[in-house]
């Protein structure tokens, strides 16, 4: 299983609420058409937590997108589709900055069966 995780920051001039509304109501439904996506989760950031023993990173984000694929090949095939192009073109309307990670997930809790 491959997960693609992206930190999203809204475009300048767009409020957090406008960002979340577009992301959920318009952008989210477009993901249904992309072949190969096994799971898509939007995490809407509502606050932060700091720790006194670890300095905070200077990262601004309005949300975290998570997309799951069966493997790297299915991710690469999905990335090349017109449906993914429609999704990324829409993202350019409200996302000002993005940092994307391709992740091999290792489950700790619950322990893998």
As a residue count, the chain comes to 113
Annotated domain spans of the chain: 2-46+60-104
Q: What is the pTM of this model?
A: 0.89
Tokens standing for residue 91: 């993202």
At 86, give phi and psi (nearest 5°): -60, -40
pLDDT tens digits, one per residue of 54-83: 998 888 899 999 999 999 999 999 999 999
Element (H, E) at 91: helix 82-94
Question: Does the structure show a pLDDT above 90 at 113?
Answer: no
**Residue 70 to residue 33: CA distance in whole angstroms:** 17
- pLDDT (mean) for 99-106: 90
Assigned architecture for domain 2-46+60-104? 2-Layer Sandwich (3.30)
Give percent of the chain above pLDDT 90. 86
């Amino acid at each position: 299983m491959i997960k693609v995780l992206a930190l999203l920051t809204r475009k300048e001039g767009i409020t957090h609420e406008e960002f979340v509304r577009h992301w959920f109501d318009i952008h989210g439904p477009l993901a249904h058409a992309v072949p190969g996506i096994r799971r898509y989760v939007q995490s809407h950031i509502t606050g932060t937590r700091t720790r006194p023993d670890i300095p905070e990173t200077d990262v601004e984000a309005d949300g975290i997108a998570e997309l799951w694929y069966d493997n790297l090949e299915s991710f690469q095939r999905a990335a090349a589709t017109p449906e993914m192009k429609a999704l990324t073109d829409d993202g350019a309307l409200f996302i000002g900055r993005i940092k994307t990670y391709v992740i091999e997930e290792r489950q700790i809790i619950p322990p893998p069966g």
